[in-house]
Structure formats: structure tokens, C-alpha cells
């Protein structure tokens, strides 16, 4: 069994949960989820998404938690520990994916920070589309990217319990309250009815098309921070008394709940202001154009609501970015025996640099996102399911420590062996060529 060689630790189970939920809840919940729902048939998509959470997201999440806690090391060493040296390569893929995502995620996070501060100090720009064009790429975007990256690194540098955990314990409950309050506010707007109808009344036609299925599974993956060892790394700071299936369930449920409530903000708001057409024509920038339009029309109330909304996004992005950075930092310190401070500096410097093309060219940002999510995360999840289902000897043993009577154990391994690989392979067959095309288009 792995000893916990003086490794850092979470201060409490609650702290771990807040940090893991913080990793899961981010731009994916408050923006990606809404626009995918809009694009793919409203409530019918929500239904399929829940199904994918159970069939694909849940099993992989629990696999990451089990491997991380069992090995008590970062992804590279943890996979080596259970699978032998060859599997360290998969760990390396994980770390590279984390590094790539951290680089461009920080650019988008920089936009949210800027919008949040503008909402407080100057108000929303009267020409939202033009404004977004000006601030989303170029030196401004670069500057905000660097600011956001520096802030996140500062937290990571403070360590697991006094950096990441302390931050998450403070901000995550605030985020939850703010999002719920915004949903209540949206309910008071006249004309919001059709928004609820659109969001909550299923239209099952075309539900089981390959595209919709693949978007639902992809979203389950991205939103739960799976496929690159983020949850694995966080679990490596747990002790063996924690109940992994229960904790996994709480993380997945909270992640879904926040995405769902965020939809209860976005749809009523947009329908009440007759902006519903804009949602479905969504791209990377939609959130930053359509919502400011709505906030602008709502006058002073819009300014308050907008500040809170972008504030929540900043918080979500921050706690997600620190989890991405932590994967790289933990691995560097494992592999090269660097101390946390040195590892953080190297990681941050390199990620700031790699984010630069994304800040200067939005097509580069889009291509990085596609490669990261459609190729690296999906591929990483597929490999991890195969690893846990077929290579690891008795993966259940790690789950049983801390949770004696779990029935869920019986379906867990078969899901990882058969269901997850089949669904993920089916999806990647369509999405990998698309991602490669986006990269090719850059040159």
C-alpha cells in the first residue's frame, strides 16, 4: 500500500469537497452548458446530459479519485505505481493536457475579470459586440490573462490546505448563493415565461442523434474536470478514511445543480429581453456579447446583476484554473523533486507564455480548446477507463477502504470496461477530425 510520505493534506473532508466542486464548476457550467442546451433541444438535452453523467462521468470520476488516493501521488507517478513504467506516458499526456487547458482557460478567465470590473466601475459598453471584439484579443487580452494567471499562481503557491482549500471554502458557498439569487431575480422579470418553457419542456425529436449524444458526453467530461488527472491529483491529498463513492456523488450532483441553476438565470433573462435568437447562434464569445446586452437594457438593476454574474464567473474560473495548475505543479514536484515554489514558478511562466498566442488570436484559442477537449480529454478518459477496468488489479479494493457496503461497486467496473470505452470511442470518431481541422486552419 502506498504510504503517504509526508505529503500535504486537505484540512477537512468539507475542504476537499469545496476544492473539487470548485474545479468542476467553472465556465463550463455557466456558459457552455447553457448554449449547448439551447443548441440541442432544450430540456431533452438536459435529460441526456444527466444520463451521460451516470454512465460516463460518474465511473471515470470515481476511477480518478480511487487512483489518486491510492497512490498518493500526482498523475505520472500514480499511473506508474499501479500500471508500471509504460503507463507513465498516459500521466504525461494528462499533465500536458492540463498545461494546455490552463494556458487558454486563463485568457477567457481574464475576459471575465475585466467584464466584472467594468461592470462595477464603468458599466457595460453600449456596443457589446464591438467591445468584445476589441478586448478579447490583443494586448488587452494578454494583460488580463497575465493578471489572472498571476493571481491563480499565488493561491497555488500557498499550498493545498492554506491556498487552494482556504480559497475554495470561502468562495464556493458564495458562488452558490449568488447563482441562486440571480435565478430568483430572473423569475421576477416580465416575459420570462417562454424562457422556462424552452429550457424545461422537452422536445425529444432528434434526441438520439450522434451529435447530441456526443455533446452531452463531452460536456459531462469537461464539466466534471475529467480526463487529465485534476480529480486524481486532488484525491491524492486525501486520507483513506474518506468515502469515495459518496464524495464522487456529491461532486457530480453539485456540478450539475450549479449548471442547472445557471440555466435558470440565462434562459429567462434572454427570453424576457427578446435576445433568444442570439443564444443558439452561439460561439466562444456569445456570453460576453448577449448577456451584456441584457444587462445594459436593465439599467441600474442590470449593473448589479451583471456584476454578480461576472463575479460568479470569475470565482468559477479561478477555482478551476488552480486545479489545472495544481496538476502540473504536483507532477513537477513529484518527478523533479522541486519544492512547491519552484514548481509553481516554472509552471506559471510556461503557461503564461503558451497562453500568449491564444490571447493574440481567437482562432488559436478555439483550436487549442478543440484539441484539448475533443482529443486529449476524451482520449485521456478512454485510456483511463481501460486502465482501471482492464489493467489495474482489483480497483474495487481502493473504494472499499472508507466505504464498506457499496453496491455501486458492482456496476462500476463493468461500466469502465465496456460502456465508457464504447461511448467515448464512438464520440471521438466524429470529434477528432473536427478538432484537427481547426488546427490545420490556423496555418
**Residue numbers of the site for ligand TRP (CB under 6 A)?**
23-24, 26-29, 101, 222-223, 225, 227-228, 230, 320, 323-324, 377
C-alpha cell at 255: 456540478
CB of 375 to ligand TRP, least distance (A): 13
CB of 137 to ligand TRP, least distance (A): 21
- What does the alpha-carbon distance between residue 222 and residue 56 come to, in Å, rounded to a whole number? 12
The residue written with cell numbers 425529444 in the block is: 204
CB of 64 to ligand TRP, least distance (A): 10
Angle at 198 between CA 195 and CA 203, to 5 degrees: 175
Of 176, 198, 181, 202, nearest in space to 270 by CA: 198
Smaller CB distance to ligand TRP: residue 287 or 377?
377
- What does the alpha-carbon distance between residue 407 and residue 309 come to, in Å, rounded to a whole number? 40
CB of 227 to ligand TRP, least distance (A): 6
Q: Which residues, including other chains, have CB under 8 Å from residue 196's CB and lie 6 or more apart?
A: 264, 267, 268
Q: Which residues, including other chains, have CB under 8 Å from residue 190's CB and lie 6 or more apart?
A: 272
- What does the alpha-carbon distance between residue 310 and residue 316 come to, in Å, rounded to a whole number? 10
- What does the alpha-carbon distance between residue 91 and residue 331 come to, in Å, rounded to a whole number? 9
Smaller CB distance to ligand TRP: residue 141 or 259?
259
Smaller CB distance to ligand TRP: residue 23 or 136?
23
Smaller CB distance to ligand TRP: residue 23 or 388?
23
CB of 23 to ligand TRP, least distance (A): 5
CB of 287 to ligand TRP, least distance (A): 12
HEC letters along 18-45: HHHHHHHCCHHHHHHHHHHHHHCCCHHH
With 0-12 / 13-18 / 19 or more C-beta atoms within 10 angstroms meaning exposed / middle / buried, residue 154 is middle
Smaller CB distance to ligand TRP: residue 22 or 70?
22
Smaller CB distance to ligand TRP: residue 101 or 296?
101
CB of 139 to ligand TRP, least distance (A): 26
Smaller CB distance to ligand TRP: residue 34 or 192?
34
Amino acid at each position: 500500500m502506498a504510504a503517504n510520505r509526508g505529503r500535504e493534506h486537505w484540512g477537512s473532508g468539507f475542504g476537499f469537497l469545496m476544492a473539487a466542486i470548485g474545479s468542476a464548476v467553472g465556465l463550463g457550467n455557466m456558459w457552455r452548458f447553457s448554449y449547448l442546451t439551447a443548441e440541442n433541444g432544450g430540456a431533452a438535452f438536459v435529460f441526456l446530459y444527466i444520463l451521460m453523467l451516470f454512465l460516463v462521468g460518474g465511473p471515470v470520476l470515481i476511477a480518478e479519485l480511487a487512483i489518486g488516493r491510492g497512490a498518493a501521488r500526482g498523475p505520472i507517478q500514480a499511473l506508474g505505481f499501479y500500471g508500471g513504467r509504460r503507463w507513465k506516458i498516459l500521466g504525461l499526456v494528462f499533465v500536458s493536457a492540463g498545461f494546455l487547458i490552463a494556458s487558454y482557460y486563463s485568457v477567457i478567465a481574464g475576459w471575465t475579470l475585466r467584464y466584472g470590473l467594468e461592470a462595477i466601475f464603468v458599466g457595460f459598453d453600449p456596443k457589446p459586440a464591438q467591445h468584445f471584439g476589441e478586448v478579447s484579443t490583443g494586448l488587452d487580452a494578454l494583460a488580463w490573462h497575465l493578471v489572472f494567471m498571476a493571481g491563480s499562481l499565488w493561491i497555488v503557491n500557498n499550498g493545498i490546505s492554506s491556498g487552494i482549500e482556504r480559497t475554495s471554502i470561502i468562495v464556493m458557498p458564495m458562488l452558490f448563493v449568488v447563482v441562486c439569487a440571480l435565478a430568483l431575480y430572473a423569475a421576477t422579470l416580465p416575459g420570462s415565461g417562454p424562457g422556462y418553457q424552452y429550457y424545461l419542456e422537452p422536445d425529444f425529436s432528434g434526441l438520439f442523434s450522434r451529435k447530441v449524444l456526443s455533446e452531452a458526453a463531452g460536456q459531462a467530461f469537461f464539466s466534471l474536470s475529467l480526463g487529465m488527472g485534476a480529480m486524481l491529483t486532488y484525491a491524492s491529498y486525501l486520507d483513506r478514511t474518506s468515502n469515495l463513492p459518496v464524495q464522487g456523488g456529491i461532486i457530480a450532483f453539485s456540478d450539475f445543480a450549479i449548471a442547472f441553476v445557471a440555466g435558470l438565470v440565462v434562459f429567462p433573462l434572454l427570453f424576457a429581453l427578446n435576445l433568444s435568437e442570439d443564444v443558439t447562434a452561439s460561439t466562444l464569445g456569445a456570453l460576453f456579447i448577449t448577456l451584456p446586452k441584457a444587462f445594459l437594457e436593465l439599467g441600474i438593476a442590470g449593473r448589479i446583476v451583471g456584476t454578480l454574474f461576472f463575479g460568479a464567473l470569475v470565482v468559477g474560473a479561478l477555482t478551476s484554473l488552480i486545479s489545472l495548475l495544481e496538476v502540473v505543479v504536483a507532477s513537477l514536484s513529484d518527478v523533479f523533486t522541486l519544492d512547491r515554489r519552484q514548481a509553481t514558478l516554472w509552471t506559471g511562466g510556461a503557461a503564461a507564455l503558451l497562453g500568449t498566442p491564444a490571447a493574440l488570436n481567437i482562432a488559436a484559442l478555439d483550436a487549442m480548446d478543440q484539441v484539448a477537449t475533443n482529443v486529449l480529454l476524451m482520449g485521456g478518459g478512454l485510456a483511463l477507463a481501460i486502465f482501471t477496468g482492464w489493467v489495474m488489479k482489483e480497483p474495487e479494493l481502493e473504494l472499499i477502504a472508507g466505504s464498506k457496503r457499496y453496491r455501486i461497486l458492482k456496476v462500476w467496473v463493468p461500466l469502465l470496461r465496456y460502456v465508457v470505452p464504447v461511448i467515448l470511442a464512438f464520440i471521438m470518431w466524429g470529434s477528432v477530425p473536427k478538432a484537427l481541422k481547426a488546427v490545420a486552419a490556423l496555418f
